[in-house]
Amino acid sequence: MSTAPVVATESGTAFSRRGFFMKLGILFNALAGLVLAVPIVRFLFSSVTRGRRSGYLSWVPLGAVSDFPEGETRLATFRNPYVMPTDGKTVDTVCWVRRIQGDQFQVFAVNCAHLGCPVRWFPQSGLFMCPCHGGAYYRDGSRASGPPERGLFEYPYKVENGFVNIQAGELPTPGAPMAAIATEKPPCA
Per-residue tens of pLDDT for the chain, all 189 residues: 555 555 555 665 667 888 889 999 999 999 999 999 998 988 888 777 665 554 467 888 888 888 888 888 888 888 877 777 777 777 788 888 888 888 888 888 888 888 878 888 888 888 888 888 888 988 888 888 888 888 888 888 888 888 888 888 766 666 554 444 444 444 444
pLDDT score recorded for residue 142 = 87
H or E segment at 31? Answer: helix 17-50
Task: Give the pLDDT confidence score for residue 24 in this predicted structure.
Answer: 94
Does residue 147 come out as left (phi exceeding 0), alpha (psi in the -120 to 50 range) or beta? alpha
3-state secondary structure of 101: strand
Q: How far apart are CA 73 and CA 122, in angstroms?
A: 9
Q: Give the per-residue pLDDT at 27.
A: 95
Closest Cα partner for 153 from 122, 169, 174? 174
